[in-house]
Amino acid sequence: MSVKAKLILGTAVLLGLIIMPPFLDAGWQNALNTMLIASLFALSFNLLAGQAGLLSFGHAAYFGIGAFAALHLMQAIEDGLPIATPLLPLAGALAGLIAGVCAGWFATMRSGVYFALVTLAIAELFHSFAPHLKNLFGGESGISGMRMPWAGFNFGTVLEVYYLTLAWVIVCTALLWAYTRTPFGRLTLALRDNEQRVLFMGYDAHIAKTVIFAVSAMFSGVAGALQAMSNETANYALFASHVSAQVVLYTYVGGATLFFGPVFGAVAFTLFAFLVSDLTRSWLFYQGLIFVLVMLYAPNGIGGAIAYHVRHWRELNWSRLAQPYGIALIGGMLVTAGVVFVTETVSILFGLEYENLRGNAEGGFPEFALLGGTWSPTSPITWALPASLLIGGIWLIRKAIKQINDTQDDNRELDDSVTDKEGVQA
């Protein structure tokens, strides 16, 4: 994708983020806010995981520390400290940086799986000790504060908080992007690809890795601070393993090889949670399923898949691919429908309410309501429908994949034949 095209796209997205929110309702504004924070967290995580190749399973620690630092500053401002409210995330950055330096120094002594385990242990230690340290972490109920007005802004509405978050996320994203363009940013990639070579070039890999860890932790701290600013409270649950897990999910589903990949993942999952969590009680299952499917079939994530298509824009035979992609899409929808149907059915049939229904019907198998219709568990239709959806969907997807492979093979043959004729690569 040319630089011009990227600039246009970027500007469009930015304009959209700036102009649209006042026209959305507060629920959506809040969701956008959450998406921005999640994106920043994922981007900072990817600095360590995708670019430096150091998979950290305990990044919640720095997110949490940033949040608590911001809250302490918020409370200090409430008590009279003359610092502008919009500068709160700086406290998060500082705390994240310091924690990152300390933790990173030790963690980067190891690599691979051991590194991951060290980061896990550090996060777990924070999680276990935080409830005992009442002054720092407010015990089990945490600390809370209130955003103080500054320069005429009250920061009382979701919209104002959103714009503040947006400003910070834009600045931090720009900084992270600039980082990748510096020589040190290149060194980061080099460390991932071949650490020994880097050592041979004379760099101290341990110090370099510590710096990278600290930078990543700093931006995670900013993300945590933004969340603390938005929620006005934080408690030790921010250090829990599932927060670390979430950022890993966002990054890898979005694609760790692309700079904006994690943003895709963060937005997708946050949107998914926003839309689906109140519709069904099994949404965590769907989330896990999506993650595993992406890991299996799109190892470079959504972002990676998009990047592939963008990169090969001219080479791909779009007219021939349109049909199999369409078929795959339909197949995907069928499979999704089938999976949702089965999951919801199982959830209902094995749930407490159904047990009560059965109790009232004296042990029979009464009908249940699902997606607007009533179904009977003993009727073959109830099982034939999802089965046919699944089988049909999978068959369509396989057919589409075969067609896509055929297209690519044909392309390759064409390239080869051209090469043969001209003796150079066409």
Scan residues 296-335 and list those touching other proteins (CB under 8 A).
Answer: 296, 299
Query: What is the rounded (10 degree) CA torsion for 278, 284, 285, 288?
Result: 140
**Closest residue by Cα to residue 51 from 245, 193, 223, 205:** 193
Phi, psi of 303 (to 5 degrees): -60, -40
- For other proteins, give the closer residue by CB, 55 or 94: 55
Separation CA 186–CA 196 (nearest Å): 15
Name the one range near other proteins by CB under 8 A: 76-84, 172-180, 196-204, 240-248.
Answer: 240-248
Q: In this chain, which of 46, 85, 235, 382 binds other proteins, going by CB under 8 A?
A: 235
Q: How many CA atoms lie within 13 A of 73 on its CB side?
A: 24
Residue carrying the six token digits 């990676």: 304
- For other proteins, give the closer residue by CB, 301 or 393: 301
DSSP annotation of 109: T
> CB of residue 313 vs other proteins: minimum separation in angstroms?
24
Query: Interface residues for other proteins in 55-94 (CB under 8 A)?
Result: 55
Name the one range near other proteins by CB under 8 A: 78-86, 309-317, 355-363, 372-380.
Answer: 355-363
Separation CA 308–CA 258 (nearest Å): 10
Residue carrying the six token digits 């998060």: 92
Q: Residue 350 interacts with other proteins (CB under 8 A)?
A: yes
- For other proteins, give the closer residue by CB, 120 or 370: 120
> CB of residue 110 vs other proteins: minimum separation in angstroms?
6
**Closest residue by Cα to residue 164 from 144, 176, 150:** 150
- For other proteins, give the closer residue by CB, 168 or 236: 236
Q: Residue 22 interacts with other proteins (CB under 8 A)?
A: no
Q: Residue 117 interacts with other proteins (CB under 8 A)?
A: yes
Q: In this chain, which of 6, 9, 16, 114 binds other proteins, going by CB under 8 A?
A: 114
Name the one range near other proteins by CB under 8 A: 202-210, 214-222, 293-301, 310-318.
Answer: 293-301
Helices 26-46 and 158-181 cross at an angle (nearest 10°) of 20
Q: Residue 399 interacts with other proteins (CB under 8 A)?
A: no
Longest CA–CA separation in the chain, Å: 81
